[in-house]
Structure 1
């Protein structure tokens, strides 16, 4: 069955079922944000009682992912007693015991489904970058948890908080770290990853929930940012907006990350569906190849390979679509128990 090519992580409990990390998973979507897990030893079936659990560690609420580098696991949560705080936790990979914890005060008033942070820590060059639901951006020492620099988006940049809180995971691009800050004339921002200095601000849109994506088109280094109003192309070096394509999203749920593959830029959302764009050799002049409701996604970013995208559709389960034409090649593989809002992160395995 075609479903077997994918690993679907259902985060019902925070547990680790392997004694050794096969490879680092340092950020959202893994190394290079390619959604490829290099483990090639995964079983095709589990015991009836489920895979053996090596350890469990109770933590607070949250919807974000984990990052693993070496023998350390990084994750965010929220605590409400004795005070309301967001936390960044570093745990021992083998035992689950805390190595360090960094916490800071927050107020989730007005955040729907306000259980906890939504983003995944980014670990790079012995530093951890985190972005909380209320626009708190931190750079921490990965070994000690010491604060290297920080920004309060609301206080410093007049960041607006989306209905369900910020969910962008920080993206490292050379010496920069990029986030969808949602600030005043600063929906997308770039910071010096070492000092925290603001390098550029871009876009005036309201913030959504997706993360920026870096692509190269010819000689152009491009950042693609999908907001609730547009798909934008931004110069990665200067922050200059190069182009924008309107793609209005109901309730602001621009959640999945844009994907770039085989010369096609693709995004999809829950109500109005998908849009596939083609850029010229200078990364300008976006042309709509196809759009519409034939494919409607919610939270799971598509996987891409050999000119096709593998997507979790709101009605038809796992769907394979030809990226350049929008033709549905197959569908109906059910991998989520939720029939109304299906979601399950999709990841390639090393053996394909």
Structure 2
């Protein structure tokens, strides 16, 4: 068994690294941060004189590869325990459990330790999640109440990649963009209904879609199993692809 296969992982938050109070710090609402570039505007310590920083709190969450997102004083991540995916929301300042939501998601033998690989996204007070097998959730950040949830494969046919869907959801005014199908799929974030879908000529890749800054109309880069494509976010039209 791999040493971290029981990521009943201790999420540890330490002083000087993760700011003083999340409620007064920059939110980190999606994979790689607010601008999807892995850069924070916060000024944090680059060295720890006098020893390691003090741990403020730690919490156990289920097994998985999902990162954490933070907004409005809440921290959200995902994991899997006993063949159920678990979405966990904690108070970002204290580590106290705010709520959890779970659904059945059996772990396949080829998925390493198992658990989700996509990171949640927070947008306008809601949390959006995506599982390896296509389960999509929209939950209220404040309460964990289900706004809607469904499996994308119940709406149309798409191949699950060998190691499961892995790209994190990207949500904005245009919709909820997922790396599903040959060049992505867009859902209505209000109800989860499909706005457009790509064909099944190629499996989805494992990368998170990237909105091209300054593109007009808005375009997103989507990696399939064989190519990178620039897609019109509003219509799903492929503008270009390589190779």
Report the TM-score, using the length of structure 1 for normalisation. 0.61
CA shift for structure 1 position 16: 1.2
Unaligned residue ranges in structure 2 (runs of 5+): 1-8
Is 1:163 paired with 2:162?
Answer: yes
Which protein is bigger by CA-based radius of gyration?
1
Find the counterpart in structure 1 of residue 47 from structure 2.
45
Is 1:197 paired with 2:193?
Answer: yes
CA shift for structure 1 position 224: 1.0
After superposition, give the CA deviation of every residue in 1:107-156 in whole Å (9 maximum; x if it has no partner).
12244214311111101101000011221111111111111112213343
Whether the 8 Å CA contact 1:111–1:165 is kept in 2: the answer is no
Whether the 8 Å CA contact 2:73–2:93 is kept in 1: the answer is yes
SS at 1:220 equivalent = coil
From 53, 57, 60, give the equivalent of 1:58: 60
CA distance in 1, matches of 2:149, 2:45: 42
CA distance in 2, matches of 1:173, 1:202: 19
CA distance in 1, matches of 2:218, 2:193: 21
Find the counterpart in structure 1 of residue 141 from structure 2.
142
In the TM superposition, what are the counterparts of 1:85-124 in structure 2 within 5 Å? 85-124=84-123
- Which sits farther off after the overlay, 172-181 or 46-55? 46-55
Whether the 8 Å CA contact 1:133–1:167 is kept in 2: the answer is yes
Higher strand share: 1
After superposition, give the CA deviation of every residue in 1:190-214 in whole Å (9 maximum; x if it has no partner).
0111121211112532112101111
CA distance in 2, matches of 1:216, 1:29: 15
CA shift for structure 1 position 58: 1.2
Whether the 8 Å CA contact 1:114–1:164 is kept in 2: the answer is no
CA distance in 1, matches of 2:198, 2:32: 24
CA shift for structure 1 position 230: 0.5
Unaligned residue ranges in structure 1 (runs of 5+): 1-11, 247-352
Find the counterpart in structure 1 of residue 72 from structure 2.
70
In the TM superposition, what are the counterparts of 1:1-352 in structure 2 within 5 Å? 13-18=10-15, 19-21=20-22, 22-40=25-43, 42-46=44-48, 50-80=52-82, 84-182=83-181, 187-203=183-199, 204-216=201-213, 219-246=216-243
CA distance in 1, matches of 2:11, 2:121: 18
Whether the 8 Å CA contact 1:200–1:238 is kept in 2: the answer is yes
SS at 2:35 equivalent = helix
After superposition, give the CA deviation of every residue in 1:153-196 in whole Å (9 maximum; x if it has no partner).
334333323232221111113140100124xxx65110111121
Report the TM-score, using the length of structure 2 for normalisation. 0.86
The Cα RMSD (Å) is: 2.0
CA distance in 2, matches of 1:124, 1:144: 15
CA distance in 2, matches of 1:179, 1:202: 11
Please identify runs of 4+ aligned residues in structure 1 that moved more than 4 A: none
- Which sits farther off after the overlay, 231-240 or 161-170? 161-170
Find the counterpart in structure 1 of residue 4 from structure 2.
none
CA distance in 1, matches of 2:75, 2:224: 30
Distance 1:169 1:175, change over 3 A: same
After superposition, give the CA deviation of every residue in 1:204-228 in whole Å (9 maximum; x if it has no partner).
3211210111115663321111122
CA distance in 2, matches of 1:74, 1:93: 9
